[in-house]
Amino acid sequence: MNAHLKKILAEKRREVNRIRKQGIPVVWHGDMPSIRDFPYAISSPHKVGLIAEIKFASPTAGRICQATDPVHIARLYEGHGAAAISYLTDKRFFGGDLRGLPRIKTVVSLPILRKDFIIDEVQVVESAVYGADAVLLIARILSKVQLKDLVEAAKALHMCPLVEVHDARDLDKALSCGAEIIGINNRNLDTFEVDLNTTFTLRPMVPEECIVVSESGIGSAEEVRRLGEAGVHAVLVGTAIMKAQDMEGKVRELASAGGMPLGSGQGLRHN
């Protein structure tokens, strides 16, 4: 396992222990916004949906963007064509802050994916309390039993689990645990190297009834078009947007590139 990932998971175990000891604080004063339909938002049969990510830093790249207000960025994403928002909430390694999630939820109408390293059911409950519509679950860092339990916990709270995979073994684990949205991570969590061909290799192995999201290493309209032609329903893009001098333009570019039919037979029907 990569040294960065080991450090991250050690920190997550400490966070879980703190939550269990201290409890989850009340963050809503008034009615909680309803759960939004994440699968519907990202699976239009007529386009590749853009899940635009708010990510301020990473262990390998350091500080990515000097902007600090996730609410401003979320509004920008919604205003320029994103289908959904991913908010990376890890504070120590990625510069996020879970307290920003409810602030985002109250100012945009898009579904929000909480992206973090979730290893325990208490984090799933925490995600629901803070207003997440979907949660990221990483098959590589979870046993089959853990993954199944977390998928079921998310669904019980009416959130959508996006299960991230990197190879065929991860994919088999995800499908056996009831995953309906498969995120193909082009980043190898052992080496942190990125290869877009990971998506092209794994996409034909995913059942047609699943929604497929390509993650990591996507930064151009041409790449979005190629992924759409391969039958990908949505792309998750963070760094390319957050590093762009013209963030609005980059969001428009990627969202507009996705405005084309998916590859033959890959679209999902909406009633």
* Domain CATH code at residue 156: 3.20.20.70
Residue 7 lies in a domain: no
Residue 8 lies in a domain: no
Q: What is the pTM of this model?
A: 0.92
Which residue in the list 216, 223, 250, 253 is annotated as catalytic?
216
Q: What is the DSSP letter of 162?
A: E
Does residue 269 register a pLDDT over 50? no
Residue 236 lies in a domain: yes
Question: Which residues are 161's β-sheet partners?
Answer: 135
Residue 40 lies in a domain: no
Which residue in the list 78, 164, 223, 253 is annotated as catalytic?
164
Residue 267 lies in a domain: no
β-pairing verdict for 49-54 and 234-237: parallel
Residue 239 lies in a domain: yes
Does residue 164 carry a catalytic annotation? yes
Residue 243 lies in a domain: yes
Q: How many residues does the chain have?
A: 271
Residue 26 CB coordination number (10 Å): 7
Residue 57 is predicted with a pLDDT of 83
Q: What is the DSSP letter of 133?
A: S
Cβ atoms of residues 184 and 152 within 8 Å: no
Does residue 180 carry a catalytic annotation? no
Does residue 262 register a pLDDT over 50? no
The string of pLDDT tens digits covering residues 187-233 is 988 888 899 999 999 999 999 999 999 999 999 999 999 999 999 99
Residue 39 CB coordination number (10 Å): 18
Average pLDDT, the chain: 91
The domain tally of the chain equals: 1
Residue 29 lies in a domain: no
Does residue 115 carry a catalytic annotation? yes
- Residue 207 structural domain: 48-256
Among 95, 144, 89, CA closest to 118: 89
